[in-house]
Amino acid sequence: MGCHVGLDRRPVYETTRSVIRVGHVIHALTSGGMERGVLNIVNYGDPARFRHFIVCLTRADSIVSEIRTPDCEVVELSKRPGNDWRVPTRLAAVARRAELDVLHARGWPALVETVLGAALARVKGTVYGFHGRTMPELDGLPPRRWWAQKLVVPRYRRLVTLNDRMRREFATECGVPEHRIDVIPNGVDTERFRPLAEKARLRMRFGVPADRFVIGTVARLDPVKNHALILRTVKRCLDDGIRPFVLLIGDGPHRDTIAAEVARLGLTHDVRLYGHSNEVPELLNCLDVYVQPSFYEGFSNTLLEAMACALPIVATDVGGTADLVSDGVEGWLFKSNDESALTRLIAGCRAEGARAAVGARGRQRVLTEYSIQHMVRSYEAMYTRLANDT
């Protein structure tokens, strides 16, 4: 299945352990960039040296079917809403049973429970990953969250985030020195995500109009992703005589709201809410331009995947996006929520020759800087150091 392409050249790490056991603690294993990052480490890692356990504080859904490593165990702790003080004890029980060397907490929902569970199970190899912010957090952290981070984050052995900008931000927010925070960028499987010379056939297969200029995005349906901006822009384009078709790939809590807005704007024949899919590379190859209108992005997996498919990018200049896309080189950046700018950029992207050159530069940048093999090797090196230091 090509799960370990290129990993025969991985460096050899010194270790006193034959197999290092890593537990990834996550709120829920659902469709999203952070969750995809966990799966990539599991699927593309070295099964002879690492065994992975995914511990969901709440639940796992159908994305579990994408795990290709047969000995990866997924555990659901069925956390109750709010504070559930059973969770650290249950997590500790899993850690003891699995004889974990490392517990890697991902995101705020796993911050406190993981450090408590690790203490109860005496797992000293602890990692906390900062992956970005939700919509409510953009206006500042609530006092409870601010104090929890100040008190708990320094108790982790290592911290990790996705780019230098996020490292500076997180270090300041939590009062920890930057040297304690590793930067490991996301990576892409460039064999799976690549341009396909089958656009017409793929559009027919997925029910995408063959004669339309197609824009789209892959994202959780959440307010922070700002899908509403795409809808307003498309309405404006239609009024100006431009006829883009929009493919929204992904699912989430905001789906009903987005569907209602599509109906309100009269875009039923111009927008398709595709939902979750295991065929994202093929769906990306149905697009002419990839649009990311988010209010915030840490370091977008889906943006990298679109670039790997040689799609030109139109994205808001927020978070770590400018680290991935240079304005006018791999795509175009615009200010958050600027409907006029997005309308102008979409209108200007219709020339196929210009799109091809921009898309080719994007794919080359991913090949050079953001391979999945480099990302996985970096995480495995960190896990090895933690296991040896305990």
pLDDT digits (tens, 9 = 90+) for 69-96: 889 999 999 999 888 989 999 999 999 9
Which distant-in-sequence residues (6+ apart) come within 8 Å of 258 by Cβ? 221, 227, 228, 231, 248, 273
Q: Are strands 102-106 and 20-26 parallel, antiparallel or unpaired?
A: parallel
pLDDT per residue as tens digits for the range 23-42: 999 999 987 778 888 999 99
Equal fold, 7-187+371-389 vs 199-369: yes
Q: Of 245, 244, 246, 249, which Cα lies nearest the Cα of 221?
A: 249
Q: Where are the domains of the chain?
A: 7-187+371-389, 199-369
Average pLDDT over residues 368-379: 94
Question: What's the pLDDT score for residue 34?
Answer: 82
pLDDT per residue as tens digits for the range 305-316: 999 999 999 999
Question: What's the pLDDT score for residue 4?
Answer: 29
DSSP codes of every residue in 190-227: TTTS---S-HHHHHHHHT--TTSEEEEEE--SSGGG-H
The CATH T-level fold of domain 7-187+371-389 is Rossmann fold (3.40.50)
Instruction: Give me the architecture of the 199-369 domain, per CATH.
Output: 3-Layer(aba) Sandwich (3.40)
The answer to whether 129 and 160 have CB atoms below 8 angstroms apart is yes
Average pLDDT over residues 248-265: 96
